[in-house]
Amino acid sequence: MTHEPSLLLALDLAGTFAFGLNGALTAVRAVRLDIVGVISLGMVTALGGGIIRDILINALPPATFRDWRYLSVAAGGGLVAFAAGRWWDRLMMPITVLDALGLSLFAVTGSSKALGYGLGVGQAVILGAITGVGGGTLRDVLIQRVPTVLTSGLYAIPALVAAAITVATTREGVYGVPAALGAAAACFVIRMVGVRYGLNAPRPRGVSPE
Amino acid sequence: MTHEPSLLLALDLAGTFAFGLNGALTAVRAVRLDIVGVISLGMVTALGGGIIRDILINALPPATFRDWRYLSVAAGGGLVAFAAGRWWDRLMMPITVLDALGLSLFAVTGSSKALGYGLGVGQAVILGAITGVGGGTLRDVLIQRVPTVLTSGLYAIPALVAAAITVATTREGVYGVPAALGAAAACFVIRMVGVRYGLNAPRPRGVSPE
Amino acid sequence: MTHEPSLLLALDLAGTFAFGLNGALTAVRAVRLDIVGVISLGMVTALGGGIIRDILINALPPATFRDWRYLSVAAGGGLVAFAAGRWWDRLMMPITVLDALGLSLFAVTGSSKALGYGLGVGQAVILGAITGVGGGTLRDVLIQRVPTVLTSGLYAIPALVAAAITVATTREGVYGVPAALGAAAACFVIRMVGVRYGLNAPRPRGVSPE
């Protein structure tokens, strides 16, 4: 098993920043909270996935609370969103792009760290998806939206793809910077294509919703 | 303390299947998600209670991530619900029955496992109820319903009864297959009687809701 | 590092009682649940913050499940609210006062316990705030409200102040009963002034909510 702690840390911090910005922008645009609410929602979104991952693999206290860089980067993302929120409105889909970025990076780091803690192959893939999906799910629950992972089929699937690539390349001994970036890129592209064309996974047939 | 790991596993997997089916059927009927959403909600419902239990008794990583059978059975329940969802509509209350089944089985396994990890008698009873109630509560939070445990009095009480029977028989040294099935049956019967006759626990008097 | 386990326990139990009463009164007044729902919501509110703290600092099983007094005090708070709910309506803001009390006490115990488990200074401050805010946030999510911590700026800030005083006095070696009560009082006063005058933290400018 190759240990790449600095790669894991770099990807984790990049995902943390993307999700911190995303969560805080969501707060600014959708709920219009004050600065504490904006930064809190940014931090929950940024840190939620990694904390859930670290609880489930028994890596407590979570990395978030062992390494001050996580808290700083998450709060930094929230501050940027608070300060620059009005400019973001003119950009194309920044919230969705940031969310796809965080999803992709965390799917890689979640599955990689799960393998490092001795979990099985299938479990590591699912833990990667949970890590990618966790922060955004907490964000949606807190602001009373049905979480994206439930409503958009092409949200969990790209995360599972990135996690599967990470696990497969680790097992083959070829995991490293190129594999990690490739896995994240695959997830990002699938997710953004899904958003652009409104793609969804198959729905159940013949059932009329209540 | 009698260890019955195979009994615990069997009851746990049966509860997992019942809750996986229940959560996925809820998704199909109440929210009409796509296949990923249906299976995700099934898995959260199936695995949530056991994961919360294992976190609280410090049995990390949770059984879910140590033993591949949990993930398979939960996903299997979700797939069955997705494939057969249209037939379920014609059956009487399948969702409620499955929920009562999962509640009953998890109340037994939760309290039994908590005792095995050295928790006290009262704590084990409450942990049994939390295990039974946990997955459905996460399901309801995700699809924006007030959790059943808060609104229906005869939901937590039968779980507490099953957990208390489990704890009492374990302390007396007579816990085993008959006691476990008897405890689960007691919970199931009380819950279904409550559903059938719309029974509730006493409500506070003289307070007008806002 | 001064260990003051009896001080920690006393403050923790006082906060547990305040939050148990608060959560159960919220249930009685806002949702009108039956007795099980009322006590369940009281217990979640009372125990949620401490459980989240103990998970994050790796003190599992949580104090709640090691020491029967937590469960008893939380349930006791819920029972008092259930029995006396109709009298509370005539008092001034009892729910808000109880919430501010729990917030203040848990911010102190959370940061103090985090230091005792070896976490860094910044992390301990944030963990104090999470402990104070956690139970109420779970309460709000369960009854489908946007959590107070997101909507009211002067909710997280006083908790951070109390946690910072606790951490600073511990580092200086002067932490004890007076410092703990002073930190809690500072939080309580700031929070109640904020409630009384409707104060909020700054909001983002130039952004129109969707």
ipTM score assigned to the predicted complex: 0.87
Measured between CA atoms, how close is B173 to chain A, in angstroms? 32
CB pair distance less than 8 Å for A153 and B60 = no
Please count the residue pairs, one from chain A and one from chain B, whose beta carbons lie less than 8 angstroms apart.
90
Q: What is the mean pLDDT of chain B?
A: 88
C148 touches chain A (CB under 8 A): no
Q: What is the pLDDT of residues B104-137, one digit of tens each?
A: 999 999 999 999 999 999 999 999 999 999 999 9
CB contact under 8 A, C137 and A142: yes
Amino acid type, C88: W
Rounded to whole angstroms, the Cα distance separating A108 from A4 reads 12
Predicted pLDDT of residue C197:
82
- B87 pLDDT above the threshold of 80: no
**Interchain pair B204, C86: CB under 8 A:** yes
Tell me: the pLDDT tens digits for A37-85? 899 999 999 999 999 999 999 999 999 898 899 999 999 999 988 888 7
Q: What is the pLDDT of residues B140-186, one digit of tens each?
A: 999 999 898 888 768 999 999 999 999 999 999 999 999 999 999 99
Share of chain A above pLDDT 70, in %: 88
What pLDDT score does A27 carry?
A: 87
pLDDT at B3 over 70: no
- CB contact under 8 Å between C153 and A62, yes or no, is no
- For residue A121, give the H/E element and its range: helix A121-142
pTM of the model: 0.91
Pick the closest to residue A132 from A98, A166, A103 (CA basis).
Answer: A103
Residue A2: pLDDT over 60: no
Contact C22, C106 (CB under 8 A): no
pLDDT exceeding 90 applies to what percent of chain A?
A: 67
Render pLDDT for C125-177 as a digit per residue (tens, 0 to 9).
Answer: 999 999 999 999 999 999 999 898 888 768 999 999 999 999 999 999 999 99
The interface residues of chain B toward chain C in range 76-105, judged by CB-CB distance below 8 A, are none
Q: Which residue would you say has higher pLDDT here, B207 or B201?
A: B201
Residue B207, pLDDT score: 46
Residue B4 has pLDDT above 70, yes or no: no
Q: In 3D, which of A124, A131, A123 has the Cα closest to residue A175? A: A124
pLDDT of residue B198: 76
What DSSP assignment string belongs to chain C?
A: ----HHHHHHHHHHHHHHHHHHHHHHIIIII---HHHHHHHHHHHHHHHHHHHHHHTT-PSPHHHH-HHHHHHHHHHHHHHHHHHHHHTTSSSHHHHHHHHHHHHHHHHHHHHHHHTT--HHHHHHHHHHHHHHHHHHHHHHTT---HHHH-HHHHHHHHHHHHHHHHHHHTT--SHHHHHHHHHHHHHHHHHHHHHT--PPPPSS----
How far, CA to CA in Å, does A30 sit from each of A78, A160, B197? Answer: 15, 28, 43
| Residue where the block lists tokens 């596993």 | B9
Q: What tens digit of pLDDT does each residue of A114-131 get?
A: 999 999 999 999 999 999
Cross-chain CB nearest to B32 (options A58, A156, A203): A203
Residues of A in contact with B41 (CB under 8 A): 150
The pLDDT of residue A163 is above 50: yes
Nearest Cα of chain C lies from the Cα of B90 at a distance, in angstroms, of 31
The larger pLDDT score, comparing residue A154 to residue C113, is at: C113
CA B20 to chain centre: 10
- Is-contact A36 C155, C-beta < 8 A? yes
Cβ contacts of B103 on chain C, cutoff 8 Å: none
CB contact under 8 A, A86 and C206: yes
Cross-chain residue pair A123–B65, CB shorter than 8 Å: yes
Cβ distance of B28 and A206 shorter than 8 Å = no
Q: Does A123 touch chain B (CB under 8 A)?
A: yes
To test the contact with chain A by mutation, choose from C58, C111, C155 the residue with the greatest count of A C-beta atoms within 10 A, namely: C58
To the nearest whole angstrom, how far is the Cα of A83 from the nearest Cα of chain B? 31
What does the pLDDT read at residue B30? 76
Q: Which two tokens stand for residue B32?
A: 């009409």
In this complex, which of C58, C153, C207 lies closest to A36 when CB atoms are compared?
Answer: C153
Nearest residue of C to residue A36, measured between CA atoms:
C153
**Interhelix angle A68-88/C121-142, nearest 10 degrees:** 60
Q: Is C178 on the interface with A (CB under 8 A)?
A: no
CA–CA min distance C36, chain B (Å): 5
C130, C150, C160, best to mutate vs chain A, most A CBs in 10 Å: C150
pLDDT at C207: 46
Question: Quick check: C60 and A60 CB within 8 A?
Answer: yes
- Predicted confidence at residue B91, as pLDDT, reads 63
Mean pLDDT, chain A, integer: 88
Q: Which residues of B touch A120 (CB under 8 A)?
A: 65, 68
At residue B10's C-alpha, the angle toward residues B8 and B13, to 5°, is 105
Residue B1: pLDDT band (50, 70, 90) is very low
- Give the Cα separation of B143 and A156 in Å (integer): 17
The beta-carbon neighbor of A71 closest among C122, C137, C151 is: C122
Q: CB-based contact (8 Å) between C177 and chain B?
A: no
pLDDT under 70: residue ranges of chain C: 1-4, 86, 88-93, 153, 200-210
Give CA–CA dist C31/C40, Å, rounded.
13
Omega into B61 within 30° of 0, i.e. cis? yes
* Across B55-68, average pLDDT: 92
In order of A63, B41, B72, B105, B110, the CA distances from B77 in angstroms are: 34, 11, 9, 16, 20
Is the pLDDT score of B32 beyond 80?
Answer: no
- Locus of tokens 């104070």: C132
